Amino acid sequence: MNRVKLPSISPSYTVAIRDEALSNVDWWQQVQAKYHEIESTPHQLWLLFAEDSFDFSCCLFALLLAKRTPVLPPNQQIDTLLHFVDKVDAVCADHGVGQNLPDVATGYREFLNESASKGMLQDIDIKDEQALHLYTSGSTGQPKKVIKKWRQLLAEVDTLEQYFGSHVEQSLICTSVSHQHIYGLLFTILWPLLTQRPWLVKLVTYPEDLFSAAQQAISFVSSPSFLEHLSVQTQLLKRKPQFCVSSGGPLKPTAASALSLQWNYAPTEVFGSSETGGVAYRNQLSQQYWKVFNGVNWRVSPSKALQICSPYLEDSKAWHQMDDAVSIEADGFNLVGRLDRVVKIAEKRVCLDQMTSELADHPWVAHCDLLTLSSSRDYIGAVVVLNELGQQQIENGKFFLNKTFRRYLSKQFEAVTLPRKWRYVDALLVNSQGKRQIPKMRLLFT
């Protein structure tokens, strides 16, 4: 891990770019100021959230250096924050929760000279067992706590540097994903910060933002949903990132092909989860299947579930079973569906991934998603984004569309298992990581 370390205090270099360049000296000044605020309190468990990734990083490391436990909420919706406030001792954030101001504000503080960063925290170690708490939605949509130790995060950053470091040299790290989740935290804050590479603080929200950022050498950390949207906007693909990585789900082959046609390379995809960290990678231009990172061992259970033994798990010697079903291929494994997406409808086992894939193949469908709902009994609800051909059928009425799609699915699935309710939307409900927003999907059916 020779390159993976906290920023040095000198010589000065750029850590991040906001409206102006922010240096390692700026970073240490902010960390020290927040450290002293945090250290003066007895609080151990801290809810941490901020839109600004530089401010967030300073407060994250102030908490870790003070031996406090950061708790990262899965999003910043008011109900989510109110839920978490009752479970922590204090809040470090860029705004209050309800009527309460944060105990420590994340905002940037001006210093007149560099002396404020001298002789302070660089000699303090972050212990291997120091933890932070992340939350993932899980299969039910309810927040699920994942505890990450500092040693696990360091091991992942070291792997990212080994595999991808040479691809991002002399480039600015830009991202369309949030740092509140493990993927964004690792790729857009910890990796660049601990390997002395600059990142762009402003989030890439639209393809136009990427086009503007790509006037200089950039590396782009993104998600399948963003890249699939980008792949059809050929005018905005004329400026290409030096390197592009995607995670959160498999990238559609059509999107990978369209991007590689314009960029002369396909995005590198990383497969993993909040619990396991990175497991495997692929590049569809050169490999169809997933190849595990060095140090990760894998096998397939009798139920076809992927099992891994990994240095990124809390117990690096224990086998961990994932919810992903896989098949063994010559150069790795193939993802064939989610085991937690196999449900029982009227006592019939239904694979929602299989049904979703079948529905997505209909010539009127651009995108779709399925979920289970309950009334007097469990049933399936369908959320559909129509393509141009499908839009032309709207004048026939939604009942006609529902009936057409049910008839189409009935070729493979029993009638009792077919979706009972249908909703037609302009875009699927996913977050910046491309993760399904199950609670919001349920609201479509209320």
Instruction: Give SS3 for 222.
Output: strand
Contact 53, 27 (CB under 8 A): no
Give the mean model confidence (pLDDT) for residues 288-301. 96
- pLDDT, tens digit, 9 for 90 and up, residues 327-346: 999 889 999 888 878 888 87
Contact partners, residue 386, CB within 8 Å, separation at least 6: 364, 365, 366, 393, 394, 401, 424
Q: How far is residue 52 from each of residues 162, 189, 201, 207, 346, measured CA to CA in Å?
A: 28, 11, 6, 20, 48
Q: Which residue has the higher pLDDT, 378 or 167?
A: 167
- The whole-number pLDDT of residue 248 equals 86
Give the mean model confidence (pLDDT) for residues 353-359. 91
Longest CA pairwise span in the chain (Å): 73
- The whole-number pLDDT of residue 1 equals 44
Give the mean model confidence (pLDDT) for residues 27-42. 95
Q: With 90 as the cut, is the pLDDT of residue 423 above it?
A: yes
| Banded model confidence at residue 290, pLDDT cuts 50, 70, 90 | very high
Instruction: Give SS3 for 348.
Output: strand
- The whole-number pLDDT of residue 350 equals 86
- pLDDT, tens digit, 9 for 90 and up, residues 234-271: 899 999 999 999 998 889 899 999 999 999 999 999 99
| Banded model confidence at residue 29, pLDDT cuts 50, 70, 90 | very high
CA distance 416 to 418: 6
DSSP string covering 297-346 = EEEE-TT-EEEEE-TTSSSTTS-EEEEEEEEEETTEEEEEEEGGGEEEET
- pLDDT, tens digit, 9 for 90 and up, residues 201-243: 999 999 999 999 999 999 999 998 899 889 999 899 999 999 9
What is the pTM (predicted TM-score) of this model? Answer: 0.83
**Across the chain, what does the average pLDDT equal?**
91
Give the mean model confidence (pLDDT) for residues 423-437. 86
| Banded model confidence at residue 138, pLDDT cuts 50, 70, 90 | low
Instruction: Give SS3 for 428.
Output: coil
- The whole-number pLDDT of residue 113 equals 61
Q: With 80 as the cut, is the pLDDT of residue 61 above it?
A: yes
- The whole-number pLDDT of residue 432 equals 73
Tell me which residue of 217, 246, 241, 166 sits closest to 17, measured CA to CA. 217
Give the mean model confidence (pLDDT) for residues 265-294. 95
| Banded model confidence at residue 41, pLDDT cuts 50, 70, 90 | very high
- pLDDT, tens digit, 9 for 90 and up, residues 83-97: 899 999 999 999 999
Q: With 80 as the cut, is the pLDDT of residue 3 above it?
A: no
What the block records as the tokens of 27 is 């970073």
